[in-house]
Amino acid sequence: MKFMIMLFEKDTDWQAAPPEELEAALAEHGAFTKMLQDKGIAYSGEAVKDSGSAVTLRRAGDGDTLTATEGPFAPGQPAQLAGFYVIDVKDLDEAVEIARMCPTGAATEVRPIWESAA
């Protein structure tokens, strides 16, 4: 089964962060992905830019029109989506076990990916 591990942390502009902070964060994720490889767990993942670079689309009152606003869906939250991994493991228990080993700042959410039968 596939699961998405969503990583939430305070907004960080990694282009402006001190190089040693960026290197330390990348090293933590490098160690995590090596662990996934060593366990034979198929994965993909990416970091996302800070929430100020987001555009959120919302349905207007008529339900047909999408309006765009700059910024994240939940502005002002102390933690924003910072990145994600998609892993392929046997069940939710294993996904949670793996997510516990994943470096993150404020919160981690594990969610099954819906796979159609078609």
For range 28-45, the mean pLDDT: 97
| Residue 118 placed within a domain | no
More reliable by pLDDT, 79 or 74: 79
pTM: 0.80
Write out pLDDT tens, residues 16-33: 788 998 899 999 999 999
Write out pLDDT tens, residues 76-117: 566 788 899 999 999 999 999 999 999 987 889 999 999 887
| Residue 63 placed within a domain | no
| Residue 117 placed within a domain | no
CB-based contacts of 78: which residues, under 8 Å, 6+ apart?
Answer: 10, 106
Query: What CATH number did the domain enclosing 26 receive?
Result: 3.30.70.1060
| CB crowding 48-62: b at 16 or more within 10 Å, else e | eebbeebeeeeeeee
| Residue 45 placed within a domain | yes
The count of structural domains within the chain is: 1
Q: What is the DSSP string of 86-109?
A: EEE-SSHHHHHHHHHTS--SSEEE
| Residue 19 placed within a domain | yes
β-partners of residue 66 are: 59
